[in-house]
Amino acid sequence: MVEAFAVASGKGGTGKTTSTLALGMALADRYDVTVIDADTGMANMLFHTGLDDADVTLHDLLVEGRGAAVGDAVYERFGLSVVPCGTSLDAFEAADPARLRDVVAELAADTDVLLLDSPAALGSKSAVLPVVLADRVVVVLQPTIPSLSDGLKVQEYARSYGTETAGVLFNRVRPDEDVERVAEQAAQYFGGTTLAAVPESDAVRAARREGKPLLEHAPADPAADAFREAAASLEVRS
């Protein structure tokens, strides 16, 4: 059985792509993991995985008539099956978001855990479908009240489509921030779990510059430890 997670947030730049890859690598010890860049308008997983020049991407599966097979867009990297998405605006506009459903179904037949790196803004079909297709959603937030408010909206939206929250992952936490207090507020707001608090870390930025996920570039970094803790807290049901 496969379990699919959407990694989502209210706003962009919270660390969804970083988190998707880190959670994926942390889970890859025990499971076959596939990560998909379903943020088809603001795709950037290719830059985190050294796949900048990938020939076939998710866009080729979503644009009708391109004739690509799902397997053509799957790249084995860092112990993960990675499905990157291209950055062309034309391809994004030509893509039929509804085709993601079939792509996900085909990938699901061949993996234990699917992680869908999801778009930030809710509302459009391309933005909501990853959350709809997932079993549970990981909400990536900063430890601030405005960010919690965004996260609550993500949770409500996901719930309206029958997708439960797996937990909140606080990212880019600075040493002066009171995560415990925010986590308590998150428990009140979300009635759910804080998966981990990932510190702000130079290693995260350095990894991206190298075109590698954090857990490949700096597995001993405290941020990597926090992502492994989050992955363990997910209690995957595959």
Name the residue type at position 11.
K
Q: Cα separations (Å) of 108 from 5, 105, 112, 148?
A: 12, 5, 7, 31
Instruction: Name which of 44 and 163 has its Cβ closer to Mg ion.
Output: 44
Stretch touching Mg ion by CB under 5 A, among 37-45, 62-70, 101-109, 215-223:
37-45
Instruction: Name which of 52 and 160 has its Cβ closer to Mg ion.
Output: 52
Q: HSE, CB side, 13 Å, CA atoms: give it for residue 57.
A: 24
Indicate which of ligand ADP, Mg ion, none lies near residue 153 (CB less than 5 to 8 Å, by partner kind).
none
User: Does 17 sit near ligand ADP (CB under 6 A)?
Assistant: yes
Q: HSE, CB side, 13 Å, CA atoms: give it for residue 191.
A: 4
Residues 169-208 that bind ligand ADP (CB under 6 A): 171-172, 198, 200-201, 204-205, 208
By the 10 Å C-beta count (0-12 exposed, 13-18 middle, 19+ buried), 125 is classed as exposed
Q: How far is the CB of 209 from ligand ADP (least distance, A)?
A: 8
By the 10 Å C-beta count (0-12 exposed, 13-18 middle, 19+ buried), 226 is classed as buried
User: Does 44 sit near Mg ion (CB under 5 A)?
Assistant: yes
Paired tokens of 13: 């730049």
Q: How far is the CB of 197 from ligand ADP (least distance, A)?
A: 10
Binding site for ligand ADP (CB under 6 A): 9, 12-18, 44, 171-172, 198, 200-201, 204-205, 208, 223
